[in-house]
Chains A and B, each alone.
Chain A
């Protein structure tokens, strides 16, 4: 099946700094990618839909200026958590669809200290 690669898998950053997470579709082109956030023992919540060449579509309650999404090419979307705070610590997962099937990255564990 198709492969989605997410990097880094783990990151620890200081409060107030910014962190960039990359999501790549390795063997297919993805005009749309999705960013999810998972809280401990809870489901995945869709944060935003990343559209290649245009602005991302954010779900209600997600701060656009805090979670910057850039989808500059058909194989790469990035999520930048700006001015990170401890409450941003979470597991972030990206996904891309190919022929009707969704494929997920390995996830990024962000810890803000």
Chain B
């Protein structure tokens, strides 16, 4: 079945890079997403990558996809205090089904 796992917590200093990792079991997904959730708020789509791509860069965000290892990562360059939030990776399957990881809490220390 579909299962998505993430590390629970990451702490970085302001200005450093953050790398959030995600592993998944079902490789039939069409897209893989990264969402950001701030306290008490809904989900904000940060970026996504097609399942046939290896890398995508979007300003401070870099997504790497290793299909062989079923590993997805999100790198945030020059992390700011405003980046503190929970980050979810998610797989999007045919039929519009999204399967989420448990979320990684990113804390940025100033």
**Which residues does A use to contact B, with CB under 8 Å?**
1, 6, 32, 34, 41-44, 46, 49, 93, 95, 97, 100-107, 109
Between-chain CB contacts (< 8 Å), 27 pairs: A6-B42, A32-B96, A34-B96, A34-B98, A41-B103, A42-B102, A43-B88, A43-B101, A43-B102, A44-B43, A44-B88, A44-B100, A46-B97, A49-B96, A93-B42, A93-B43, A100-B30, A100-B31, A101-B48, A102-B33, A102-B45, A102-B92, A104-B42, A104-B43, A106-B42, A107-B40, A107-B42
Residues of chain B with a CB closer than 8 A to A34's CB: 96, 98
Complex: chain B residue closest to A42, CB-CB: B102
Residues of chain B with a CB closer than 8 A to A103's CB: 45
Q: Is the interface of B mostly helix, strand, loop or mixed?
A: strand
Q: How far, in angstroms, from A104 to B105 measured CA to CA in the complex?
A: 20
Question: Interface residue tally of chain B, by bracket?
Answer: 20 to 34
